[in-house]
Structure formats: structure tokens, C-alpha cells
Structure 1
Amino acid sequence: MNRIFFRFFVLVMLSITGATFVIYFAFSRLFGDPLDDIARRQAAAQIFLLEQYVDKAPSDEWLTRLNNVRVVSNVRYDLVPLAEVRAALASGRRAALDRGEIVLDPANRSFWRRVDLEGERYIGSHEEVLHAQNLPIDIDQALKMEALRYVIVAVALLVPIALWSRSHWQGLQALSRVADEFGSGKLTARAQMKPSDTAYPLAERINHMADRIEDLLEAQKSLLHSVSHELRTPIARLEFGLELLDARAKDPDLSKRVKAMEGDLRELNALVGELLDMSKLDSARNLQAAPTELAPLLRECTQMLPPSPHALDCTVADDLGELELDPRLLARAVCNLLRNAQKYATGRILLSASRTANAVEIVVDDDGPGIPVDERDKVFEPFYRLDRSRDRATGGFGLGLSITRKAVALHGGAVRVDSSPLGGARFVITLPA
């Protein structure tokens, strides 16, 4: 958010600077160099003395009056050849000199002007130029004054812009906080603004959107929860009926089919349980966080797994410390990863954990077939399975990894998939320390 207003401030400053240069060049083009005008005003007394005193003298007294001015003035007046001056001037200034105009040189505090055009002052006067030096011209001071004017204008523009931007910035900051809270699962978060605030119309639309999203999510969760609970009743009835049927069945083939149907019912019952668990992970309100020692929790996860022929190594240090977390949810997330590794590993599974200044990483490695790079994000989607031909062999519904991601996200962490040094897949849970 700060970046937006910083860029806006830089844009305003650049616009003011650009406008300053445009004004200078436009005035130079249309009305002449502003520095010449400033220098002409500063040297106005010397120019007036030359034009009104020296030039008004009769032709035979022009040099006399010029010498009188030299005596009483600090300005140095020299007569130099016209050809020499013309060679030193640019074409535009040379033309002005040829017309008999005063040509200023503010940088050197001097000006040139031809004595006359017809040689009326004295013999050869039309071939000489009067060069006045050490004029009371101070361009630096003039430039400082002009710069001060532009600074005052810039400040006069920036102050109201800053006040106007501040109200927008505060409103957008408030909306940003609401968006962060809403995105983290606090569905009741709303923007509280006055109708007079500049961001109020946007806040109203965001609140309406949040109301709609909250209603939709609540309806979805309620539907999922209700349907899952309603399914439990017919499932229980079917289980009871199959048990009675199996008890009375004398045909071995029928008994085998009943056993298969019972397996399907157990699978359906497990699916309902998974769906109920999914519905409980949609909000941070279900998080029961408490200070928890991480190392014992991870070792306990290895004891909660079903029997497996694969070797499970646990290299968890004792100095992982405590974290503010829900031990039940985190254990569920880690166990899901370990069970997933049991399904696909060929001989070895490794659980490890490490802690840095900012984060804790929990890593589950296996030596299975691994996960293709283009499908590593998809495996966390509900009901997504890499190899559908192995669904019956491996079991599961494609919900375990999705539950893991939601449980970790409720703790402010993330889970990702990499390639394992063991040759299979590596799942990494990152939690803020």
C-alpha cells in the first residue's frame, strides 16, 4: 500500500520538475531567455546611463562622456573590434549585435553593443564594439529566487495532495486489513467506515461481497455437514442388515459377497468421516491452539500409524522447542503424510524436523515412485489421485492431503512437494516459529 502512494508522490515531484523545464523552454522560445531578462533588469542602471547620457551626447563629445562614465563607475568599458566580437558570438546574438542591440552575457557579467552603425561618433566607430564588464549581475541569486518560487509552488501543491492522499491511504489500509482477516478465515471481518470517508463506496461493496461469500460458505459447510450426518443413519442400517444377512447366509459365495459389501460400507463410512473433518477445517474458529512441545508430538505421530512392512526412521531433534498450535490438527496433518508415504514407499520412510529463527520445517520422505512436477500442486485438491488404477490397492479418497493443507494453513503455514533424496516424494510442512 505504501508503494502506491510513494509512486504517486514521485510522479507529482517529477511532474512539477518537468513543468518547470517546460515553462523555462517555452518562455525562452517565445519571449527570449529569462536569464537575459533578469540580467537586463540587474544592469538597468548601466544600460540607462549608456543610452540616456553617453548616446545623447553630440558626435564630437561621445568619447568624452564615455570617459566621464569610466571615471565614476566600477564598470569597465572597453572598445574592441567588431570582427573579433562577431567571431565569438553565436548566430542569433551576432544578428542582434549587427542591428545595434545590447547583447548580454550574464555568465560573465558583461554586455556588448556596437558604438554605432554609420560611423557617426568618430572615424571608424562603426567597426568597434563597446564591451562593458563587471556589471552588477548576480545570476546565482536570481536562480535561487526562482528555485524558491518553484519550491513554494511545489509545497503549496503537495500539502493538499498529501492531505487528500492520507485519507485515501488510511481507507485502503483499513480495507487491506479486512481483506487479510477475511482471507485468513475470519468470515465476520467487515470494513467499518463513515459515509464521509473517501473509500466508503468501495468498503460497502467489499462488505456486500464478504456477506455473500460468508453466506455461501456457511451454506456449503452446513449442507456438507448435514448430508454427512444424514448418511450415517442409512449406513448404520445397512451395516446392521449385512451382519444379519451374513449370519444367516449358508452359501459361501453369498457370504463372500456380503463381506465385500461390508468393506464398501466401511469405505463409505470412512469417506463420510473425512468429509466431516473437511467441513470443520474451513474456519480458524475450530483451531484450539496451545503451547506444545513439537518433538514429542512428532514422535507420537509415528506410533499412531497402522502396521507397515516399510522401515520408518524418525530423526527429530529435542531442541525444536514449543509452538503455539493445535496438537490434534497438526498430528492429523503429519499422520496423513506418513500414511500417504506408507502407501507408495517401496521400503523406507523418513520423518525429520528442523528449526530456524523464523520457521520450523517438518519433512516426510519416501523412496516410492515420486510425484511428477506438473501434478505437485494438484495432489492437494480434494478427491484428486495420481493413479486411479491403484485406488483399490492403495485405498483412500484423495482427501488426506487436502486435509493436511487446510490444517497447516490454519496454523499460518504451508505445505509443498519436492523430490526426495531417497528417490521418491518429499512433503515439507513449514510453520512460522
Structure 2
Amino acid sequence: MTGNSRLLAILGTYKPAPWRGRYSLSRLFFNFYLLVMGSFVAIALFADFVISNAVKGITDDYTRKLMRGTVLLIEDELFRKPRGEWGRTIEALDRKFAYRLDIVDRWTLNLPPEEAEKLDGGELAIDDEGDIIYHRLKQTPLILVLGPISPERNPEYQRGLPLDLRISLLTWSLIGVCLAIVVWLWVHPVWRDLEAMRQTARSLGEGLFEARAPEMRSSALGPLAETLNGMAERIQRLIAMQKELSNAISHELRTPIARLRFALEMLAETEDRLERERLSQLTEADLDELDGLIDASLTYARFEREQPELQLSSVELAPWLEEQVEASRLLARKLDLRVDTSTLPLRLHVELDRRTMPYAVANMLRNAIKYTQTLIRVSAELSGGRVRIHVDDDGIGIPADERERVFSAFTRLDRSRDRATGGYGLGLAIARLVLEQHHGSATAGESPCGGARFTLEWPLSQSVTES
């Protein structure tokens, strides 16, 4: 099974789960709303508890100052009359006040020690709720009680729900409604983005690799959508490359296989020794061609698919370039192969990958060797912080409208479709992939020697840690 069919088989097993959009949106909304509302209520209650305890002392002091005048007036009114009439006097005054008035014995009260000390010292004492005021009537064991003074604890004001409870319910209802609106305005666009991404993922799972996630309204999901689209583009490109590579290899294999079959049939029929030797040589040549085609195809597929990690290192350009040319000089046989690095600065160092850059230079030289007549000139120059290596030949050149197409995989011009020149149309494609990996380019043009010029160009200096 090929990589393309294996990938399609895996993706074909993907079955999107049943989905209820509205129900899930409602569940997402309510879950998020309950989380936010619960957190908000917890924070509000905690803040109210902290603030109430922090200001309790200040509130009690304010209540004492506020009620002291009233307490003294009531005390004066009581002492104008005999003690036996204090009960009727308090009942009469109680009907005139909005809160309750009463007189009790000191021993009936159970106050905190601090408040009891204030009460016995002649000051106003306040209960734990800060709502009932106690005052000792001069040098008597009787205590004047005022309160509860707050409306929510005063029976005079209790008509249905207490006022503070009604205010709290109204306030929290308004907060809940406003929060629900805010949460909905936030959740709904996010849900629409998630739904759009789900539809895109489903399309990709069904093999529609041209599907793309639309622009996200939510900034939180934008990077995820970009990642999904990038993955889809890469999968689409890899599948297209696999199809193109498979089709091209199938086409290229037909010719040598057909020649092999013909040569084997001829070998079986002929008894002539010289003819058998000739056919054997042709068979070996076809096997070598098949081996070269497979090796070149695997190399191209690896560069196209994996994009090997760069291992940049600093090298002195002139000796390195001469070494690469010497490695290919044997293939040139009687051709005039020259190297010119005279225009380079002395001991110029460049950064390149020692594993992959030789692929590019070697493929350029092999291409020139195939099509030149007598001369191949390799030169290098430095311009604007970029290195350029030119490979010139004196062949018939490349038409201007075909100079970009020759860098596509399995592309060969009409004049090269013969066994003498050979080639699979992968060398220049590999060279371009290597240069793109180095943030450079591989281009074709017209040579001063009269044929074609191929140029490799990349930045002089890159980060040696770059991948």
C-alpha cells in the first residue's frame, strides 16, 4: 500500500460523532454561566464578610454617637416621673418611635465582655448584630433597650419579605440577567467558530482536503484555525506530491522495463555470443537506470516531505567549491571544466549544511555535463550579503519560457528525451528544495558561454543554530 492510499485509508475510518448543535450550545452556555455566576457570588459574599468585619467597629461608633442624644432624652423623661410609672411611660414612648423601647433588668442580658464593660461604665452597648442599643439608667440595675432599629428586624416594617432581602433579590436578579447577556455574547461567537472548525474537520476527515476553516471571530481560536488550515494545506500538498510522484515514477518505469523485457526475449532467442554480450550490457544499463530512478525519487520525496533539519556550519567557500567540482570531474571526461573564485574576498566563509548543499551543486554540474558541448565554467561571487554560485555551459541553452519549468519534478525538455542524455527531471527540483531550505533560490538563465546558466544563491550568514 502506498503512502497516499494508506493516508486515505486512515482518514476513511474517521466517522464524525452525532452532534446536537443547539443542545450543546445551551449546555456550554449554562455550564459557563453557572461557573461565572457561582464564582461571582462566592467572591461577593466573601468580600461582604471581609468588609462587614472591617467596618463593624466604625459602624458601632457611629451608631453610638447617633443614638446618644435620643437615649439621654428618653432617660430624662423617665426620671421626671416616679419609678413605678416607668413602665407606662415606656409604653407611651414606644408608640411614638419607629423601633421598640423596653426596660429590663441587668442580670437578664448576656453581652460580650467588651460591651458589658461599656454598659456598666455608663456608655452605650450594642449587640453582636449592631442593631440593639443598651443603656444603663444612671445608678439603677435597670437597662433601657432600644431596637431593633433596622427595618429588616423591626416588626413595624415587616410587610412581606424584609426590605434588605428584597433589595438583595432585585440586585442579584439584575446582575444575573446582565451576566447572562454578557456570557451569551461571549459564548455564541465562540460556539459559531467551534462549529465552523468542526465542519472543516469533518470535511477533512471525509477526504475534502480543499476545505479550510473560515476566519475566526474569537481571537482565542484564531491560532487554532490557522494551525488547522496549515495542516490541511500540508496534507493536500503531500497527497498531491505523492500522486504526482507515483504517476511520474510509473511513467518513467515503463521505458526501462519495456527495454528489459525486449532484451530478455532477444537473449532467449539468439545464440550469437557478441549479440548476447550486447544485450547483457543493455540490460545492465537499464537496471542501473532503474536503480538511479528509485534513488533520485526517494531523495526528492525525502526533501519534499521531511524538510531535513539544517545543520549549518561555517566553511571557507573557495576550497569547498573546488572540492565539489573535483568530485564531479570524473563524469566530465574530456570536457573543459573550470572553476573561478578569483572575485571572492580572501578566505570568505559562508554558512551552509554540509550534508544537503553538495546535492544542489552536484546536480547542477551533472545537468551541465549532460547538455554542454565542450566547456563548463563554475564561478562564485558575493553581492549584497548573498553568495551566488554560477554553473555555465556552452550548450544550446534553455528557452526563456521554460527556465522556471525545468525546476519542477520529472520535467525534461524535449531535447533530453533520449537515452543518451538520460536523467529523470529530479536533479534541478532537488537543488531548488535544498536552496529554499537555506532561504535561498535556484534559477536558470542565459550563460555568457552561449548555453545555459544555473545559479544557486543564499544568504552569506545565517544563524548556525537555525533549523
- Shorter-chain TM-score bucket reads 0.3 to 0.5
Please identify the structure whose Cα radius of gyration is greater: 2
